[in-house]
Amino acid sequence: MKRIGMLTSGGDCQALNATMRGVVKSLYHALDEVEIYGFEDGYKGLIYSKFRMLTEADFSGILTKGGTILGTSRQPFKLMRVPGADGVDKVEAMKHTYHKLKLDCLVVLGGNGTQKTANLLREEGLNVVSLPKTIDNDIYGTEMTFGFQSAVDIATSAIDCIHTTAASHGRVFIVEVMGHKVGWLTLHAGIAGGADVILIPEIPYDINKVVKAIEKRSKSGKRFTILAVAEGAISKEDAALSKKEYKEKVRNRMHPTVSYEIAAQIQEKTGQEVRVTVPGHTQRGGDPCPYDRVLATRLGAAAAQMILDKEYGYMASVVNGEISKTKLSDVAGTLKMVDPESSIIKETKLLGISFGDE
């Protein structure tokens, strides 16, 4: 008998259900007896022992379903060892639940903070296998995360829709794309959507260079310009500030996000009308695209194989285009950033797309 715990933590995204299905179907196929304990609302369920027994039937028909059947919540890693208002020692509580249920392994699906906590539990002696979930594609140790391609499709569709209204009115449009502190999602959606300017956190922008790119289009007879701006985009001036100084500036910013700040600066410098569109959480919603369904299924099966082989302490990953595994100790605490010198950036610049840096 194998007893497996499973939880989804952090922000939701497409293909969480598909990935869990991949794990469970593989285990049921390989084992005569297996019990699946689904913890509700992420690590919170493990801390407070809120779970439900799941059967094979619970994972039927969810391949195409977005969200997560287990629910999710954010439990900041930096607070994991800090007792809450109820005085609960979160780490000890999670270990207690794990041992009380006599689990053979805990399967964790989540992003960077989730992976750090998964590694913490590994260090505490629990058998853990994790899976890389995020639309940001910023998890170290894997070339691709599930949820990313679905979000690219949605963000690209938003940019596609802006093209017609931008052309009709002859305006500058900014589409603000999610991605937290990295630019993978903005970069891919910007290229796929035909954006004229792409601003990402890894390449601090000069607003004057952005304006120059817009004016160049206007002089060549183009009626509109579309900017794909990452929510974490940062100017060269702000990038030179200390972390404390930057946080203070953001706290006192007159505009709700960096996109609105950029819009105001462009309008002031060019006199052109600027509109901002924020697809927001639509990028994390809806059903997973076919690519993500395939990736999620393969990663889920790989996680199941690790459980069968008793290879704990790893994250199922994509390495050199193949499904592989990466040590949790290598994954935890490291962001996968866009390299400004990478070929994809150089190729994009060859097209004449501006990153606001030259």
Q: What does the pLDDT profile of the chain (358 residues) look like in tens digits?
A: 999 999 999 999 999 999 999 999 999 999 999 999 999 999 999 999 999 999 999 999 999 999 999 999 998 999 999 988 899 999 999 999 999 999 999 999 999 999 999 999 999 999 999 999 999 999 999 999 999 999 999 999 999 999 999 888 888 999 999 999 999 999 999 999 999 999 999 999 999 999 999 999 999 999 999 999 999 999 999 999 998 998 888 888 889 999 999 999 999 999 999 999 999 999 999 999 999 999 999 999 999 999 999 999 999 999 999 999 999 999 999 999 999 999 999 999 999 999 999 8
- Our CA dihedral for 296, 106, 91, 75, rounded to 10 degrees, sits at 20
48 vs 272: CA distance, rounded Å: 55
Site of tokens 């840096």: 357
Class of domain 2-147+288-331: alpha beta
Residues of CATH 3.40.50.450 domain(s) within the chain? 2-147+288-331
E-assigned strands of 95-171? 105-110, 128-132
In DSSP terms, 176 is beta-bridged to: 229
Token digits of residue 159:
């940019």
From first CA to last CA, the distance across the chain in angstroms is 61
Every domain of the chain with CATH number 3.40.50.460 lies at 151-284
- What is the percent of the chain with per-residue pLDDT over 90, rounded to a whole number? 91
Q: What's the confidence (pLDDT) of residue 33? A: 95
pLDDT at 167: 85
Helix (H, G, I), strand (E, B) or coil at 40: coil
Answer whether 92's CB lies under 8 Å from 125's CB. no
237 half-sphere exposure, CB direction, 13 A CA radius: 5
Helix axes 184-193, 343-350, angle to 10 degrees: 30
Residues designated catalytic: 136
The torsion region of residue 42 among left (phi > 0), alpha (psi -120 to 50) and beta comes to left
Per-residue confidence (pLDDT) for residue 237, from 0 to 100: 95
- Sign, CA dihedral 178-180-181-182, equals negative
- CATH fold group of domain 151-284: Rossmann fold (3.40.50)
Phi, psi torsion values for 269, nearest 5 degrees:
-85, -25
* Stated pTM of the model: 0.95
* Whole-angstrom distance, CA of residue 322 vs CA of residue 328: 18
Q: State the sign of the Cα–Cα–Cα–Cα dihedral 246, 251, 255, 258.
A: positive
In this prediction, residue 16 carries a pLDDT of 98
